[in-house]
Chains A and B, each alone.
Chain A
Amino acid sequence: MERSRLKSVVESLLFVSESAVTLERMSGLLEGVERKEILSVVEELRSEYEAQGRGFCLVEVASGFQMRTPKENADWVKSFLRGRAARMSRATLETMAIIAYKQPVTRVEIEQVRGVGIEGVLSTLMERSLVRIIGRKDIPGRPFLYSTTRDFLELFGLNDLTGLPTLKEMEEVSLPQIPENETPAAESEE
């Protein structure tokens, strides 16, 4: 396939797709075209959009590529779409954060962190396919295990989970020393 033709096809695929298009998907479709070639065409498109200051840009997200509007245009797009702009409650965000960092995780484990029931939040997250059940934990009761989805990655513009901001270490705490049993090694007292 001629390069200019390939570029045009790839652009069409990216244009019609709602979610990020993976390289695998494209190379499965474009038989006989090397992945390297596809990647280079994608990169070319990306830099072209950027150089031309287009109203959309090409972003690498959820292990794929997606056309998105630049952030500077957010206000215009938002008021154009009116009610459709998303808002997230703190409950939703916190629950998602816990799942993201602790996955796979059970509902009870999430609730232990948040200190409140999360049934409603969890079902909302599942409805919006930001979270899904990936199995059951092998403990009594065999509770479901939850994980984040590709939609989650797309929502936060992450390429994969390693892109999550690092969780702050728990503050170095100087908890009062509790004598565990009768450990003779109480030298730290001095």
Chain B
Amino acid sequence: MAIDVQLEAYEGPLDLLLHLIKKNEVSITDIPISVITEQYLATLELMRNLNLDIAGEYLVMAATLIHIKSRELLPLEEGDEEEDDEGDTRDELIRRLLEYQRFKEAALELESRDMLHRDVFVRLSDNRQEMESGEFERVSLFDLMSAFQRVLERLPEEGVHTITVEKISVQERMNVLLDSLRHSTKLVFQSLFEGAVSKIELITTFLALLELIKIRAIRATQEEQAGPILIELTAPMVEEQEGLVSGETEGGGEHGA
């Protein structure tokens, strides 16, 4: 049941680093390189486990981080010629992060303006190219993954007694999710994972969620930064989506996948 969810191209390694820097409440110019590197690699690992396609740029950045970190671990000898190299790599990274952040902020400022076709409208003839819609989720993939990580952490240690795990396919889980969303307008992200007993089940649910976001059947939003992530249907069920909901009820799965 391998499902490949393409990692959206817009969230690159710099974005991930800024995210981690913000999360750790440290300053860009004073990055605790070991901590950040560790978390960066852990995120890549999580992405890999989820079969997310990791773009080459992420790996290049991982190499850069490890390079900086390794240089920091080595004792600096006086007159070490490579000293320059280490400083340069680190400074270059800081410079890039700062520059990226500037434009990220500029983008936010642009977005906060009254945007045509969003806040203000003009008369449009019907043949005019429709504005592309549904391109973004208010909640980034990182936010979803962080939230999922917390869900995973809350999972109790597997106890002494054996639980027979019922297998459920991602496809089925997608249907279950759609079904429950039809009955309530909005659901809190965490609540989707309630009742799950195993890691594999949690992961299945998470993949189903990502898949539904990808096909734009549902949308993840957040009213405020760090607020609860809400999941809702993008539109009232249309037949197309209706067709997806073929399974019956929760847990109905001896699907041999």
Verify if A120 is at the interface (C-beta below 8 Å from B): yes
**What 0/1 readout, one digit per residue, does chain B (94-123) give for beta carbons within 8 Å of chain A?**
101011101111111111011111111111
| Nearest CB of chain A from residue B140's CB, rounded to whole Å | 7
A120 to B8, CA, bound (A): 11
Residues of chain B contacted by A89 (CB below 8 angstroms): 8, 10, 135-136
**Across the interface, do A94 and B103 meet the contact criterion of CB distance under 8 Å?**
yes
**What 0/1 readout, one digit per residue, does chain A (144-171) give for beta carbons within 8 Å of chain B?**
0000000000111110000011011011
Instruction: Count how many chain B residues have C-beta atoms less than 8 Å from C-beta atoms of the other chain.
Output: 56
**Across the interface, do B116 and A165 meet the contact criterion of CB distance under 8 Å?**
no
Closest B residue to A77 using CB positions: B121
When A101-B103, A118-B9 are in contact, do A86 and B116 touch as well, CB less than 8 Å?
yes
Verify if B15 is at the interface (C-beta below 8 Å from A): yes
| Nearest CB of chain A from residue B76's CB, rounded to whole Å | 12
**Across the interface, do B111 and A93 meet the contact criterion of CB distance under 8 Å?**
yes
**Across the interface, do B140 and A90 meet the contact criterion of CB distance under 8 Å?**
yes
A87 to B94, CA, bound (A): 31
A90 to B109, CA, bound (A): 12
A121 to B8, CA, bound (A): 11
**Across the interface, do B133 and A87 meet the contact criterion of CB distance under 8 Å?**
yes
Partner of B117, one of A70, A85, A98: A85
| Nearest CB of chain B from residue A78's CB, rounded to whole Å | 8
Closest A residue to B61 using CB positions: A115
A172 to B122, CA, bound (A): 42
**What 0/1 readout, one digit per residue, does chain A (119-157) give for beta carbons within 8 Å of chain B?**
011001001100000000000000000000000001111
**Across the interface, do B14 and A114 meet the contact criterion of CB distance under 8 Å?**
yes
Residues of chain B contacted by A100 (CB below 8 angstroms): 106, 110
Residues of chain B contacted by A51 (CB below 8 angstroms): none
| Nearest CB of chain B from residue A113's CB, rounded to whole Å | 6
Verify if A13 is at the interface (C-beta below 8 Å from B): no
A87 to B118, CA, bound (A): 7
Verify if B57 is at the interface (C-beta below 8 Å from A): yes
**What 0/1 readout, one digit per residue, does chain A (66-105) give for beta carbons within 8 Å of chain B?**
1111110010011001011111111111101110110000
Residues of chain A contacted by B105 (CB below 8 angstroms): 168
**Across the interface, do A114 and B87 meet the contact criterion of CB distance under 8 Å?**
no
**Across the interface, do B116 and A97 meet the contact criterion of CB distance under 8 Å?**
no
Closest B residue to A173 using CB positions: B29
When A93-B111, A96-B110 are in contact, do A86 and B15 touch as well, CB less than 8 Å?
no
When A90-B136, A90-B140, A120-B9 are in contact, do A85 and B118 touch as well, CB less than 8 Å?
yes
**Across the interface, do B9 and A81 meet the contact criterion of CB distance under 8 Å?**
no
Binding site for A on B (CB under 8 A): 8-15, 28-29, 55, 57, 61, 84, 87-88, 90-91, 94, 96, 98-100, 102-111, 113-125, 128-136, 140
Binding site for B on A (CB under 8 A): 15, 18, 59, 66-71, 74, 77-78, 81, 83-94, 96-98, 100-101, 112-118, 120-121, 124, 127-128, 154-158, 164-165, 167-168, 170-171, 173-176, 178-179
